[in-house]
């Protein structure tokens, strides 16, 4: 298994990626204090430390040194004993003094689980045994500004601009001009036509040559795996329910049977048009780790209808919540299991035919309880592994901080008097200028219609990133993403147990199910209506548009992961590489469990996020 993981890693990390990571490193593990105390810390995560009120940068680089030492120690107490928390200190006339405001001191935000990545597990790979390639650095391997990083920062900005656009407009044929304008701006950046990093889905079917190979309504912000570009933007598992034990139809009402209880898919409505951290003073306050009030809500609940709704979902979800819900939906629908062990489960296709039905079944092994517990169990392994990447390896700054660097360069260019006498690293001014140049024009030289021009219109004239949450990002680095790693692990378990070739149909008995297509079945899809109050069933007329279980599970992982980007707290890379690491964790656990089953022959066929198949079994 270690050999397989090493092979997987060597495929994902090529020489160009390693060269890029060495061109402009943001972190190194050997504790080189002189390097940390230089000017490169400005591209690292520093949230919770003491920040300058005028520049928004770390006031004293030595605080970052102590922060790194505490991470290397691997214990909780050093973060209190040695690291100065930004809520307890402020900068006055260039000097660090103790904070006196009780509102800032009470309930300050803590760094979240910085030591979780150094523990070990008895099942599956240890947190340190799986890894991720370097995130896109500021400079590419040629020494130029990295176009991949510019593009994914532009994506986060654009998602903030369209945060209240209906998801029903994220489909071909929609007429939303604001969304089309966002897509046009992204296409002009050039990365889509020359993708030398993490790939984006693009249109390959347009008749016009000028429209091929570009983002469009059916591909933008969708993720990277098979099936995510088919049908509605949202996975069906974030909308539909299943039939309750008393026969009540929950599919069309979004009610999930949880035993005899009920889970409602409708979410609270975060107030449309309300964004946070668009004031620089508030931005610095948040970077210091000072606690904030919760966001405001409109009355009632609705089905997830906009990026803001999805951001709300991923703000408060129980992390494995969406995948547990998906598992409950699939079990309640009687979805067929993987054909490689269907006959063992007791609930598969074989059990439905008296000639193939066994006299004994699975349940505790290969059945519902097995998958229900495993789909949640992998979440803890994923969280610990991603913490090791976040704190011990990459320490990547959040999008809110990179946007603040862009804003700082803008202010410097306009000779802002507040930063006249403040220290700003020359490398920051030199290299981040490339972001400002690209995003102020988007290739047409018109600031008003550019990405940053649109951001300025909603960010009080600044280039700060409007956030969906008052507190902005969590108190841990961006890369990898916790939600995405858990998504990759949990969805991989679901893909291992269920028949991923099943499609969503309305069968001849008018039951909605994921199943193998038969005569009399009608392909369907569900969307929320315009105000999110109800689900609308839509027929599908061509098999190429069928919603497969593989596609909807891939889409679920992408929705949850990119929902965090919609909130402003992650980049595309954080999703892309993290779901694949989560997948590797789940496969490692399944492989080790398979070794402990000296019983009936079985095979699990796991479609990966890259479209390959991994087979796990015992014969």
Element (H, E) at 444: none
CA-based end-to-end distance of the chain: 18
Is 476 part of the annotated catalytic residue set?
Answer: yes
d(CA 472, CA 65): 24
Question: Beta-carbon neighbour count of residue 419 at 10 Å?
Answer: 17
Distances 164 to 33, 47, 112, 170, 308 between C-alpha atoms, Å: 45, 28, 30, 12, 6
d(CA 254, CA 244): 11
Residues contacting residue 490 through CB under 8 Å, at least 6 positions apart: 320, 323, 324, 375, 376, 378, 379, 382, 582, 586
51, 85, 343, 483: which is the annotated catalytic residue? 483
27, 51, 85, 476: which is the annotated catalytic residue? 476
Pairing label, strands 89-92, 95-98: antiparallel
Q: Give DSSP secondary structure letters for 270-318.
A: EPTT--B--SHHHHHHHHTT---PPPPEEEEEE---SHHHHHHHHHH--
Q: Residue 95: beta bridge partners? A: 92
Residues contacting residue 300 through CB under 8 Å, at least 6 positions apart: 269
Residues contacting residue 391 through CB under 8 Å, at least 6 positions apart: 71, 114, 117, 476, 477
Please identify which residue in the block is written with the tokens 């300025």: 456
d(CA 115, CA 419): 36
Distances 577 to 145, 279, 564, 617 between C-alpha atoms, Å: 21, 32, 15, 26
Q: Is the peptide bond before 480 cis (omega within 30 degrees of 0)?
A: yes
Residues contacting residue 154 through CB under 8 Å, at least 6 positions apart: 185, 186, 189, 438, 439, 451
Output the 3-class SS for 488-539: HHHHHHHHHHECCCCEEEECCCCCEEEECCCCCCEEEEEEECCCCCCEEEEE
Please identify which residue in the block is written with the tokens 């919540």: 321
Is 120 part of the annotated catalytic residue set?
Answer: no
Element (H, E) at 322: helix 321-333
Which residues are tagged catalytic? 476, 483
């Amino acid at each position: 298994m270690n050999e397989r993981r090493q092979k997987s890693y060597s495929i994902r990390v090529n020489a160009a990626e390693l060269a890029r990571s060495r061109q402009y490193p943001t972190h190194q593990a050997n504790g080189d204090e002189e390097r940390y105390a230089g000017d490169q810390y400005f591209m690292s995560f520093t949230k919770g430390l003491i920040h300058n009120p005028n520049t928004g940068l770390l006031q004293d680089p030595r605080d970052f040194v102590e922060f790194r030492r505490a991470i290397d120690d691997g214990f909780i107490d050093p973060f209190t004993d040695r690291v100065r928390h930004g809520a307890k200190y402020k900068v006055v006339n260039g000097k660090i003094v103790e904070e006196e405001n009780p509102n800032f001191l009470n309930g300050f935000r803590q760094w979240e689980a910085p030591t979780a990545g150094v523990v070990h597990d008895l099942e599956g790979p240890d947190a340190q045994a799986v890894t991720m390639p370097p995130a896109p650095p500021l400079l590419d391997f040629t020494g130029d500004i990295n176009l991949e990083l510019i593009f994914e920062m532009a994506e986060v900005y654009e998602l903030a601009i369209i945060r209240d656009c209906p998801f029903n407009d994220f489909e071909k044929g929609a007429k939303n001009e604001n969304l089309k304008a966002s897509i046009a701006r992204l296409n002009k950046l050039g990365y889509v036509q020359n993708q030398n990093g993490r790939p984006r889905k693009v249109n390959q079917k347009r008749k016009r040559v000028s429209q091929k190979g570009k983002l469009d309504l059916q591909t933008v912000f969708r993720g990277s795996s098979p099936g995510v570009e088919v049908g509605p933007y949202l996975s069906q598992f974030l909308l539909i329910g299943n039939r309750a034990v008393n026969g009540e139809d929950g599919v069309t009402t979004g009610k999930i049977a949880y035993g005899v209880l009920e889970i409602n898919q409708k979410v609270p409505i975060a107030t449309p048009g309300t964004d946070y951290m668009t004031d620089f003073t508030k931005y610095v306050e948040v970077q210091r780790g000072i606690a904030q009030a919760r966001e405001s809500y409109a009355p009632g609940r609705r089905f997830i209808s906009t990026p803001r709704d999805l951001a709300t979902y991923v703000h408060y979800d129980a992390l494995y919540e969406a995948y547990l819900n998906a598992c409950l939906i699939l079990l309640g629908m009687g979805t067929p299991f993987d054909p490689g062990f269907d006959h063992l489960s007791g609930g598969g296709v074989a059990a439905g035919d008296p000639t193939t039905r066994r006299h004994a079944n699975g349940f505790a092994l290969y059945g519902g309880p097995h998958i229900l517990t495993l789909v949640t169990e992998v979440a803890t392994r994923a969280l610990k592994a991603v913490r090791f990447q976040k704190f011990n390896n990459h320490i990547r700054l959040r999008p809110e901080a990179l946007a603040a660097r862009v804003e700082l360069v803008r202010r410097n260019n306009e000779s802002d008097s507040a930063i006249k006498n403040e220290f700003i690293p020359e490398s920051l001014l030199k290299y981040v200028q490339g972001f400002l140049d690209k995003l102020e024009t988007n290739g047409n030289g018109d600031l008003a219609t550019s990405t940053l021009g649109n951001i300025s219109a909603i960010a009080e004239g600044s280039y700060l990133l409007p956030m969906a949450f008052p507190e902005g990002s969590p108190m841990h680095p961006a890369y990898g993403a916790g939600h995405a790693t858990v998504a990759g692990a949990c969805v991989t378990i679901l893909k291992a147990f269920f028949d991923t070739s099943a499609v969503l149909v309305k069968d001849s008995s008018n039951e909605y199910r994921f199943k193998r297509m038969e005569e009399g079945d009608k392909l369907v899809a569900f969307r929320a209506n315009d105000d999110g109050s109800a689900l609308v069933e839509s027929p599908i007329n061509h098999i190429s548009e069928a919603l497969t279980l593989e596609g909807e599970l891939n889409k679920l992982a992408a929705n949850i992961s990119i929902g965090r980007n919609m909130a402003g707290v992650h980049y595309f890379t954080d999703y892309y590489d993290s779901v694949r690491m989560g997948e590797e964790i789940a496969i490692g656990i399944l492989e080790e469990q398979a070794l402990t089953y000296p019983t009936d022959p079985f095979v699990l066929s796991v479609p990966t996020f890259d479209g390959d198949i991994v087979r796990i079994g015992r014969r």
